[in-house]
Amino acid sequence: MHTQFLWRPLAAAVAGATLLAACANQPQGNTQAALQLNDKEYFDSAAVDVFAFSSKPGGLFFDSKTAGIEIVQHGERTATNGDVRLLHTPEQWDGMGQFVERDVDPETGTITTRLAYPEHDFSYSVKATASEDGVVVGVHLDSPLPEALEGQAGFNMEFVPAEYWSSSYLVDGKPGQFPRSASTTDGMIMNDQGLTEPTPFATAKTLVLAPENPERRVTIRETLGDGELMLFDGRTKAQNGWYVVRDMIPADRTGKVVEWTIDINAIPGWVREPVVGYSQVGYHPQQTKRAVIELDPNDTAQGSVELLKITPNGKTHVVQSGKPEAWGDYLRYQYLTFDFSGVSEPGLYQLRYGDQTTRAFPINSDVIAKAWQPTLDFFFPVQMDHMLVREAYRVWHGLSHMDDALQAPPNYEHFDLYAHDDALDTEFEPFEHIDGLNYGGWYDAGDYDIRTQSQYHTVQGLVHAVEEFGIERDNTTVDQAKKFTQINRPDGKQDILQQIEHGTLALIAQHRVFGHAIPGIVAGRLYQYPHLGDGSTKTDNMIYDPAMDPHAAQRGVGKMYEPSTVDPTANEDLMPDNGNHSGRFDDRWAFTSNTTALNYGSAAALAAASRVLGPVNAELADESLATAKKVWEFEAGREPNTYRFGNTTGGKIEEEKLKAAVELLIATEDQRYAQAVSELLDQVKEAFYGENVAMLVAALPYMDDGYAETLEQLARAYRERAKDFEKENPYGVPITRGGWAGNGAVMGFGITNYWLHKAFPEIVEKELVYRSLSYLFGTHPDSNYSFVSGVGAESQTAAYGANRADFSYIPGGVVPGILVLPPDLPENKSNWPFFWGQNEYVIPMGSRYLFLTHAAQTLLQN
């Protein structure tokens, strides 16, 4: 999946653990008030909530598992996608009903949602009504099920495996245990449409999930009398599948055709355990130190918060104590704050609130100075495409995608936001091999494509970091000739420059081959796209030849690279042999539209890279600057090409052009570019945030006094608008709404504030930079772990990287963070990595994180 990178905080629409032990001896049944339809239009009680299509089906990447009938039980969303589906265990791109309308009736306590599958001429309604112990959900048809959907359409509800795989179930009283690994009863079968589907591992009229666990016990009863509940394991089709409860829709029926009574256990008197938000990394002595305590709406604030210092013998003593300050309400919770900025003595500390004591955290001058190292040492090397990446005994991945790439066809809409109209803007025929694209670039995210917009954002961000802060670290060997990277082996070269070189090589390859930037390179077919594991096994690394037998053992003649370039220290068995043609149609596709915004964005990164690449590749530095100038002249001589689809063909033209103008101005000091910056200022000043601010401030030394005065006025207006975040949430940063969580916006906010503080320190205070970093490290809603994997005492270590199926992580990767699910649920699932909108690494987040950590450390040590 990809993200729409959110570095636009002021344009954003601003709108754990549970306390089981205390309830262990209490009655197990529901004794609290029944669910009520609240003014936020969902069913609500102290311990249980039920959403009914609060989010529309579909989303940024189709099935986001954030729609339909959903259950929030004791603070955790455990079930989703209660809706009519056409497969037992649908995968992400399988069909979903399209939202038509939603009616909320407070008088009857009913939410009715009308949906349709227009391609099947099939419409239906899902009605949810509060009951004594939960909800009653029914499917209603005005017309009988279309004949083509008989035996296919059913009502599904999905339960997240991580919440249940240590639990049992009862089917009409018969016991069973949820399988930890993917399971069926009778194996997989082929359905009438030729698709492989699992068989249920349980069937019943009444299904009880987790009867032994009062926090997760849910009882589902089929109450029409002629249906049957089937329990499936969706992981048999896809590792990100959930447990699915399904009831088939009968043929030749109208009216109510499916009805479930869903009883959701609520522990009497349950109150969600407070979340004490603080930095898992710790604090610099001079840094603002502020804990934010998130409380259940039915909780009562404790008397005081204590800051404890840990002595060498393990004992603690209180160094500060005080009553937390009430901040107010945000989303569904109430908040308190506790400021301990006055404590600066180095040492180990803990916070104690009520009966909860946090993990130890340091106060010391070097805590931030080291926090960025895993990102440069591990995350960026692991993401390197067209390389073999090794770390001591471990091979992160073999040499990948040496068969890049085939020309993508015209008039084609890809499933991951790429598209072509009838103009390919190249001389290559559809599916013809394109030489010269098999080097450089990073895996964009938890998938393996080379998304150009991501590449140039990342290159530009890394250049700014090295120009501003130096970052003289050498901990990795990168050998472009041998296509070999080894982590934790220095090679005498500056690592960040080698990463800039790697990204620049992917960008320059496009200009060498096509004469312009392209949207990117991606797997062409869906079965290949969600590949998990070693990227070198995604293709056979051999150029597709349609004349060859795809099943033949022999390989065509030719060489991918000279034998002398094979690294002698690497395992040569991991490399493909020198025959480089095959009949396997598995090569990635290049989408090649020549768009103005992409050209400017690419030129900006190339111009920036040209300023720093000299020590590692002087020829590439010269070529990059020459190419950037050529792109500028080319675009100046034509009408802008604004063809745009999804988020693959560039941002706003004026903003991408500003980046190119500023980077070329800094690289050349040519006043033509200064004039362009001056003209573009009027076009972008209404969007004075994020990358626009960074570019406009970076141009200041090359501009006149009038330009500086305008920027100062814009900075004052910006600081006033930024106060909205301080009013909207207790963290004082932009917490975005949408299908992708907002850590990109949070980091962008901090970076914006760094540039403005540097230029106008009397207007924008440096505390705003620290605030973004504290949020990232644990001072955020829902939980208090660090969103930087492997950084901090507790961090997100089940993340959406290429190794997500192992419930693992890549050190230094930054996850998207808190996704606000409409209308009011902040969520980041730490035990389920497959939520791409919450947990997927993307490369621009890495470069932003490197910049932000160094910005904070620089301000603190100064």
The span from the CA of 721 to the CA of 86, in Å, is: 47
Do residues 650 and 675 make contact, with C-beta atoms less than 8 angstroms apart?
A: no
pLDDT beyond 70 at 443: yes
pLDDT tens profile 82-107: 999 999 999 999 999 999 999 999 99
Q: Please report which confidence band the pLDDT of residue 194 belongs to, taking 50, 70 and 90 as the band edges.
A: confident
Confidence class of residue 18 from pLDDT cuts 50, 70 and 90? very low
Residue 160 scores a pLDDT above 70: yes
Q: 752: which residues sit within 8 A by CB, 6+ positions away?
A: 9, 689, 690, 693, 694, 718
Which two tokens mark 672? 């033509």
The predicted model gives 800-809 an average pLDDT of 96
User: Residue 32: pLDDT band by 50, 70, 90 thresholds?
Assistant: low
Angle at 551 between CA 546 and CA 553, to 5 degrees: 105
**Strand (E) or helix (H) holding 84:** strand 76-85
Q: Is the pLDDT of residue 261 over 50?
A: yes
Extended strands (E) in 271-400 = 275-277, 290-295, 305-310, 316-322, 325-330, 333-339, 347-353, 356-357, 361-363, 388-391, 394-397
Say if residues 150 and 212 touch (Cβ distance below 8 Å).
no
Write out pLDDT tens, residues 533-560: 999 999 999 999 999 998 876 565 544 4
pLDDT over 70 for what percent of the chain?
Answer: 93
Q: Is the peptide bond before 405 cis (omega within 30 degrees of 0)?
A: yes
* Domains of the chain, earliest start first: 18-264 (2.70.98), 368-685 (1.50.10.10)
484 in Cβ contact with 567 (< 8 Å): yes
What's the start-to-end Cα distance of the chain, in Å? 40
Query: Counting beta carbons within 10 angstroms of the beta carbon of residue 374, is it exposed (0 to 12), middle (13 to 18) or buried (19 or more)?
Result: buried
Nearest-angstrom CA–CA distance, 822 and 839: 18
Burial class (CB in 10 A: 0-12, 13-18, 19+), 35: buried
Structural element, H or E, at residue 846: helix 843-861
The label of the residue with tokens 């299908």 reads: 739
Q: Give mean pLDDT, residues 52-58.
A: 95
Is the separation of the CB atoms in 593 and 452 below 8 Å?
A: no
Distance separating alpha carbons of residues 602 and 619, to the nearest angstrom: 18
- State the burial class of residue 116 (Cβ atoms within 10 Å of its Cβ: 0-12, 13-18, 19+): middle
DSSP 634-669: HHHTS-------TTSS-S-HHHHHHHHHHHHHHHH-
Q: How far is Cα 302 from Cα 292, in angstroms, rounded to an integer?
A: 14
Tell me if 275 sits within 8 A of 355, measured CB to CB. no
Beta partners for 70? 51
Distance from C-alpha of 349 to C-alpha of 369, rounded to nearest angstrom: 19
Q: Taking 90 as the threshold, does the pLDDT of residue 3 lie above it?
A: no
Is the distance from CB of 430 to CB of 471 less than 8 angstroms?
Answer: no
> In three state form, how does the secondary structure of 679-729 look?
HHHHHHHHHCCHHHHHHHHHCHHHCCHHHHHHHHHHHHHHHHHHHHHHHHC
Contact between 73 and 264 under an 8 Å Cβ cutoff? The reply is yes
* Dist CA 520 CA 539 (whole Å): 17
**Which H or E run includes 263?**
strand 255-264
Task: Tally Cβ neighbours within 10 Å of residue 428.
Answer: 18
Is residue 27 over pLDDT 60? no
Tell me which of 17-31, 446-460, 723-737, 791-805 is least confident: 17-31
Q: Which residues pair with 581 in a beta bridge?
A: 543
Nearest alpha-carbon partner for 356 in 428, 272, 429: 272
pLDDT reported for residue 580 = 86
Handedness of CA 827, 830, 831, 832 (dihedral sign): positive
d(CA 711, CA 693): 9
Q: How many Å apart are CA 602 and CA 506, to the nearest integer?
A: 10
pLDDT value at 576 more than 60: no
Q: How is residue 524 annotated by DSSP?
A: S
Binned at pLDDT 50, 70 and 90, residue 33 comes out as: low
The predicted pLDDT at position 741 comes to 96
**pLDDT number for residue 645:** 79
Q: Which residues contact 226 (CB under 8 A, 6 or more apart)?
A: 250
Q: Are 737 and 824 in contact (CB under 8 A)?
A: no
Which residues, other chains included, contact 836 with Cβ-Cβ below 8 Å and sequence gap of 6+? Answer: 1, 61, 445, 446, 800
Distance CA 805, CA 803 (A): 6
Other C-beta atoms lying within 10 Å of the C-beta of residue 14: 15
Mean pLDDT of 234-262: 96
